[in-house]
Amino acid sequence: MYLRCDQETDYFSRAIQLLTIDSKRCPHMGSCVDQKCANINNTLLIPELEEGNKYPGRTRCLESCGGLGCDCFYLSSGCLIYRVYAVPTDNKVYRQFHCLRWSKEIKLELVMEGLNKTQSRQYYVLQLMPNVPTPSLHSHFISDDYDLAITKKPNTAPLYCQSRETAIATNCTLNDDRRCTAAENKVQCECPPYDIAEEFNRIELKLPVKTSSWELRRRKNMVIAKIPHLVSSDVMIDFNRTIEQLTTLEDDDVCTIVNAPLEGCYSCLRDGNLSITRRDGRRNSLRTPSLCRLVPTERNTSKLRFHFNTARQSQNCSIRCGKNLRYFTLEGVLKYIGDPQAPLTSLMGTSSAHNDFV
């Protein structure tokens, strides 16, 4: 049995490198004005962080020292503004998805006899509701349009893109878990160890993945779960097939018949006979005079027996092979075998025999 994954995309992403850019501003200088850090949110693009504004990222602000000890004129606190941004490391786009549902299908092979041998074997896919020993099918998957892999850390990629186009243009949202702290005039951040390219390239997670009871494989861009054993279902199939074309094969082989002399006697019990040899070795339709019967002897030889009342004979016969009709002639002179009691009947004057002389 096969289970086909009905995919639902979670997001698109790319392999990135997280970088940090920062800027220390004294109070009432640059972007550190008015309410200072209270005016700065995650999406704000700060002129001092121009290099990081080219990429997806988030902007933050930490309160920093002020006064003469920090090279500032005003004694109030300053601003340590920084931005964490994502720089793509390659051009590959990844798609994470999960299976909203699994459609069940069972493949049956039906052999149907037909006139065309090349089409006598047909395959059907039937939608059934079998009793399935369902494996763990709640995994999330990553695809790069060429390969598929299972991800053990779903929804962990820091770069979220709504579509493939926005991922190519890096018009995405950065959701990172970096913890950053102020260190004098710089910012120090801790980066979580996750790389979507490294996760995707783990060999043990690349499809196909096989276990003792099920198998996950890739069919084009689809995920297919194969369960070869322990599947039960009651199936009743009714087929109505219409024959659209009927082919008739006729054998038009050329056959010949070899003439043989007509032998035997007439007006006798043994009758006349004729041996006929057919060179094609097939059973054909042989038309002969009505006063004869066909006696098969060997495979290609038949013997005709005739009952005639005269000695000299000439008969027209025909043989049909498929559509072809061939004619031949039976000719011969039959012998006369007299009755042993004929002299006695002649002496008694009761004879009615008519003799032919050759």
Alpha helical stretches, state H, 35-173: 164-168
**Pick from 182, 142, 144, 217: nearest CA to 25:** 182
C-beta of residue 304 within 8 angstroms of C-beta of residue 295: yes
The pLDDT score that the predictor gives to residue 357 is: 43
The pLDDT score that the predictor gives to residue 175 is: 86
C-beta of residue 3 within 8 angstroms of C-beta of residue 225: yes
Profile the chain (358 residues) by mean pLDDT over runs of 10 residues.
88 94 91 89 91 93 87 88 94 94 70 54 54 66 91 88 95 86 86 84 89 82 79 61 67 64 74 60 53 50 72 76 71 73 53 47
Helix (H, G, I), strand (E, B) or coil at 104: strand
Q: Which two tokens stand for residue 205?
A: 């997670």
| Strand positions, DSSP E, 173-220 | 173-174, 179-183, 186-190, 209-210, 215-219
pTM above 0.75, yes or no: no
The pLDDT score that the predictor gives to residue 293 is: 47
The pLDDT score that the predictor gives to residue 317 is: 77
Sorted by where each starts, the structural domains of the chain and their CATH numbers stand as: 257-336 (2.60.40.3770)
Residue 168: phi and psi, rounded to 5, are -65, -40
Residue with tokens 């008739």: 248
**Pick from 333, 319, 318: nearest CA to 272:** 333
Pairing type for strands 215-219 and 78-111 reads unpaired
The pLDDT score that the predictor gives to residue 21 is: 94
